[in-house]
A and B are shown apart, each in its own frame.
Chain A
Amino acid sequence: MQEQLNSVFASYQGEKNELIPVLQDVQEELGYLPEEAMCEVARFVRLPEAKVFGVATFYARFHLEPRGEHIIRLCCGTACHVRGATKIADKLKTMLDVDVGETTENMKFTYEEVACIGACGLAPVMTIDDKTFGKLDPDKTEKTIKKFDEDSAEGGEA
């Protein structure tokens, strides 16, 4: 891990105001923010560990637990809500047997709910990693996940 951290630190000066971008890059590298990594970051930007922990827990995009291989983000924005996002949420939760923020047992999918992806024209919407899937209904959701699961199992890249 130290090597990975050093490679991130190499492009920064170690200033206090770099904390957020440094944490973002560390998370990009490690997939999440383990405690030891945060302590290293604290030393690097010369801030108390508590401050770093405070920032990491304040922002929704930082994760302190390991996450699945693929991230499913269901949009719960207003437009999606009025077009039935809760039904999609129910479907995903039963299908994957997870609650919000949890990861499937095989570490394949992490299920998250986000406020708005800004693709309201296609509501209800979810994203799997960087791909957007719109105009969902419970059936289409199930098919999409199944297809994604199969595709990613075959070729590695969906």
Chain B
Amino acid sequence: MYERHILICAGTGCISSGADKVEEALIESLKEHNLEDKVRIIMSGCHGFCEKGPLFIVFPEDIFYCGVQAEDVPEIVEEYLVKGNLVERLLYKDPVTGEQVINHDKIMFYSKQKRLALRNCGVIDPENIDEYIIRGGYRGLKKALQMSPEEVVNEVKASGLRGRGGAGFPAGAKWQFGLSSPGDQKYIVCNADEGDPGAFMDRSTLEGDPHAVLEGMLIAGKAIGADEGYIYVRSEYPLAIKRLCTAIRQAEEYGMLGNNILDSGFNFKVKIKEGAGAFVCGEETALLASIEGKRGVPRHRPPFPAVNGLWEKPTIINNVETLANVPLILRRGAEDFASVGTEGSKGTKVFALTGKVNNTGLVEVPMGISIREVVFDIGGGIRFGKKFKAAQIGGPSGGCIPEEHLDLPIDFDSLTAAGAMMGSGGLVVVDEDTCMVDMARYFLSFTKKESCGQCIPCRLGTDQMYDILEAITEGKGKPGDVALLEELASAVKQGSMCGLGQTAPNPVLTTLRYFRDEYEAHVKEKRCPALVCKALLQYSIDEEKCIGCQRCIKACPVDAITGEKKQPHELDQELCTQCGACFDACPKKVGAVQVLSEGLPEVEEAEECEEGCKCHN
């Protein structure tokens, strides 16, 4: 019998911060103190608090140590496990109040969350099916197997669950289509092609609780009468693939997958398909083409996959998080699920909270919570005391929500009304140092690269929009550019066949809606107020402050700075490429290198040359 359990987070974030070395050190240290029979080590899935990794939690007391490195382990074992003294320096310190917090559920980052889809992530060993079963796992499946397919569909309908992959289509209604479609062979596909930059909730769910997704697929299979399932997962997620394979093998051994599952006569098998790196494959018809071994290009809908999908058979495609919610709905009942959330959006949503907040990581919140609570309470506010500027929600299909809408409740409909989108749940916080035009340019550079090229408005439109945005950020913006951007945006939205093109202009449209003045500053005054767009910056050295340390001279890649030791240095504007290396090199307390954006000198309109063009040379 173990006296204590120690959970070490083994999510991708914590492993790259050194969690595996912490495990080795702990095994070693426990041996030294003859504690290996008394303390059990569990390498768990993601706890969500990636910022503070590696995380190290001691149960049953629930002592939360963070940022633990291998060399800290002997101290924890000796001081805490043996003598009972807290190792205070490794406890969490609240970034706002500065207070130390001992228990993990007292930390604001966790206390405001409601973990349903992530109920087991960071709690169980994801490579051990028994732990999943002890926590109520596969009970939802058991219940579903005793029900008729219609009853299962109705239960999911009653729960109000909407798809978590992007558009928020009601899951129950989708299943109803799948059930009503005639066919002796049907498929369930789990969409784990999480491609949105800034989103990693599906990866963490697969890594931390793979059985929840399998159970969700089994229940969906029972509901529509499918006996085969595919999980389409990005090949960029090797750990998720490994844990899924383990989970499938264990479920087969326990008779949860295969033939005659739990003596019910229901058969179901699951295969894994690795993606090959194409964002558009997150679109369901493109995903199906990719499983079939073709180029991942979307096709027209209807017919919807529920009628004509994988190999032309009825197919239901659900996202990872949607499926992870399903076992709970069956186990606890639709009513229980629907008691969380708002009128139109039931349950919770997992967000990848990243960017310029103090606490980055994975958070799950009840629908209807305000953006303010997520950013300031859970996220602990903005880093380095800077000012909040916007929350970018929904990745390349989403939009930016500015400060005046901080109290907007997070649900499908209010986000869409504000011009953003729930999307897959990336929530990137940006502060005053982020340029919104650059942000829009960044997203367009992504969508134009990922456009499959099939529809002209998407292929050429995003390219044109990108060119205009790039010109604006380089100080070559022309009057009328903003209007042209708006016109193009509307053409791309209307003329594209799939979700990628239809939503690609959103980042531009929302930044135009809320931060038009920044566009104007770039175009008219050739100024970047956030001091981001390189071409619009001017660096200078303050003679009074410069101590002549020559650090900037060494850092400058183009030798634009000259000066003797202990003499004020000079910066040659002609040679300067605005790379900012001198700014970074200048010691913070000296602060002699200054950066400004005061507008570029007017370039006179070139006269027409002999060929009649306006080549500015």
Indicate which residue in B294, B557, B584 contacts A94 across the interface (CB closer than 8 Å): B557
User: What 1/0 mask marks residues of chain A from 72 to 86 whose CB sits below 8 Å from any chain B CB?
Assistant: 000011110111000
User: What 1/0 mask marks residues of chain A from 7 to 48 whose CB sits below 8 Å from any chain B CB?
Assistant: 000000000111111011000000000000000000001000
From B236, B293, B354, residue with most partner A Cβ within 10 Å: B293
The answer to whether A118 and B203 touch across the interface, beta carbons within 8 angstroms, is yes
The answer to whether B296 and A58 touch across the interface, beta carbons within 8 angstroms, is yes
Which one, B84-92, B130-138, B271-279, is touching chain A?
Answer: B271-279
Which residue from chain A places its CB closest to the CB of B356 in the assembled complex?
A82
Which residue from chain B places its CB closest to the CB of A123 in the assembled complex?
B354
The answer to whether B293 and A58 touch across the interface, beta carbons within 8 angstroms, is no
Please indicate the chain B residues that have their CB under 8 angstroms from the CB of A121 in the complex: 13, 49-51, 53, 354, 360-362
Please indicate the chain A residues that have their CB under 8 angstroms from the CB of B515 in the complex: none
When chains A and B are docked, how far (Å) is the Cα of A18 from the Cα of B462? 33
| Count of B interface residues, CB-CB < 8 Å | 60
Tell yes or no: A143 within 8 A of B by CB.
no
- Kindly identify, within residues 119 to 157 of chain A, every residue whose CB is under 8 Å from any CB belonging to chain B: 119-123, 125, 130-134, 138
Tell yes or no: B21 within 8 A of A by CB.
no
The smallest C-beta distance from A46 to any residue of chain B, in angstroms, reads 12
The answer to whether B355 and A19 touch across the interface, beta carbons within 8 angstroms, is no
The answer to whether B16 and A16 touch across the interface, beta carbons within 8 angstroms, is no
When chains A and B are docked, how far (Å) is the Cα of A125 from the Cα of B51? 13
The answer to whether B352 and A24 touch across the interface, beta carbons within 8 angstroms, is no
Count A-B pairs with CB separation below 8 Å: 139
Give the contact-size bracket for chain A: 35 or more
Which one, B151-159, B191-199, B496-504, B592-600, is touching chain A?
Answer: B191-199
The answer to whether B361 and A82 touch across the interface, beta carbons within 8 angstroms, is no
The smallest C-beta distance from A99 to any residue of chain B, in angstroms, reads 15
Which one, B327-335, B426-434, B545-553, B566-574, is touching chain A?
Answer: B426-434
The answer to whether A115 and B290 touch across the interface, beta carbons within 8 angstroms, is no
- Kindly identify, within residues 421 to 441 of chain B, every residue whose CB is under 8 Å from any CB belonging to chain A: 426, 428, 430, 434, 439
Which residue from chain B places its CB closest to the CB of A87 in the assembled complex?
B580
Tell yes or no: A71 within 8 A of B by CB.
no
Please indicate the chain B residues that have their CB under 8 angstroms from the CB of A130 in the complex: 238
- Kindly identify, within residues 184 to 226 of chain B, every residue whose CB is under 8 Å from any CB belonging to chain A: 194-200, 203
Tell yes or no: B392 within 8 A of A by CB.
yes
The smallest C-beta distance from A32 to any residue of chain B, in angstroms, reads 14
The answer to whether A119 and B200 touch across the interface, beta carbons within 8 angstroms, is yes
Which residue from chain B places its CB closest to the CB of A52 in the assembled complex?
B293
The answer to whether A81 and B50 touch across the interface, beta carbons within 8 angstroms, is no
Please indicate the chain A residues that have their CB under 8 angstroms from the CB of B12 in the complex: 118-119, 132
When chains A and B are docked, how far (Å) is the Cα of A59 from the Cα of B294? 10
The smallest C-beta distance from B31 to any residue of chain A, in angstroms, reads 26
From A16, A60, A131, A133, residue with most partner B Cβ within 10 Å: A60
Tell yes or no: B291 within 8 A of A by CB.
yes
User: What 1/0 mask marks residues of chain B from 357 to 396 whose CB sits below 8 Å from any chain A CB?
Assistant: 0001110000000000000000000000000000010010
Please indicate the chain B residues that have their CB under 8 angstroms from the CB of A119 in the complex: 12-13, 16, 50, 200
From B295, B439, B579, B581, residue with most partner A Cβ within 10 Å: B295
- Kindly identify, within residues 1 to 59 of chain B, every residue whose CB is under 8 Å from any CB belonging to chain A: 12-13, 15-17, 49-51, 53
Please indicate the chain B residues that have their CB under 8 angstroms from the CB of A158 in the complex: none
Tell yes or no: B111 within 8 A of A by CB.
no
Which residue from chain B places its CB closest to the CB of A23 in the assembled complex?
B276
Tell yes or no: B266 within 8 A of A by CB.
no
The answer to whether B194 and A118 touch across the interface, beta carbons within 8 angstroms, is yes
Indicate which residue in B275, B362, B434, B580 contacts A82 across the interface (CB closer than 8 Å): B434
The answer to whether A118 and B237 touch across the interface, beta carbons within 8 angstroms, is yes
Please indicate the chain B residues that have their CB under 8 angstroms from the CB of A116 in the complex: 195-200
The answer to whether B197 and A77 touch across the interface, beta carbons within 8 angstroms, is yes
The answer to whether B428 and A79 touch across the interface, beta carbons within 8 angstroms, is yes
Indicate which residue in B50, B196, B293, B584 contacts A122 across the interface (CB closer than 8 Å): B50
Indicate which residue in B49, B194, B293, B356 contacts A83 across the interface (CB closer than 8 Å): B356
Indicate which residue in B195, B196, B442 contacts A81 across the interface (CB closer than 8 Å): B442
The answer to whether A118 and B236 touch across the interface, beta carbons within 8 angstroms, is yes
Please indicate the chain A residues that have their CB under 8 angstroms from the CB of B297 in the complex: 58
The answer to whether A133 and B198 touch across the interface, beta carbons within 8 angstroms, is no
When chains A and B are docked, how far (Å) is the Cα of A60 from the Cα of B296? 11
The answer to whether B292 and A17 touch across the interface, beta carbons within 8 angstroms, is yes
Please indicate the chain A residues that have their CB under 8 angstroms from the CB of B339 in the complex: none
From A19, A55, A79, A130, residue with most partner B Cβ within 10 Å: A79
The answer to whether B293 and A79 touch across the interface, beta carbons within 8 angstroms, is no
Indicate which residue in A16, A82, A117, A132 contacts B293 across the interface (CB closer than 8 Å): A16
When chains A and B are docked, how far (Å) is the Cα of A118 from the Cα of B200? 5
When chains A and B are docked, how far (Å) is the Cα of A60 from the Cα of B291? 16
Tell yes or no: B235 within 8 A of A by CB.
yes
Please indicate the chain B residues that have their CB under 8 angstroms from the CB of A19 in the complex: 293-294
Tell yes or no: A105 within 8 A of B by CB.
no
List 10 contacting pairs A-B, 8 Å CB cutoff, sorted by A.
A17-B291, A45-B293, A59-B276, A61-B276, A77-B197, A81-B442, A114-B236, A116-B200, A119-B200, A125-B16
Extra contacts besides A55-B294, A77-B198, A116-B200 (11): CB < 8 Å: A54-B295, A59-B275, A60-B278, A83-B355, A119-B200, A120-B50, A120-B199, A121-B361, A121-B362, A130-B238, A133-B16
Please list the residues of chain A having a beta carbon within 8 angstroms of any beta carbon in chain B.
16-21, 23-24, 45, 54-55, 58-62, 76-79, 81-83, 87, 90, 94, 114-123, 125, 130-134, 138
Closest 4 CB pairs of A and B: A121-B50, A132-B16, A118-B200, A77-B197
Please list the residues of chain B having a beta carbon within 8 angstroms of any beta carbon in chain A.
12-13, 15-17, 49-51, 53, 194-200, 203, 235-238, 273-279, 290-297, 352, 354-356, 360-362, 392, 395, 426, 428, 430, 434, 439, 442-443, 446, 450, 452, 557, 579-581, 584
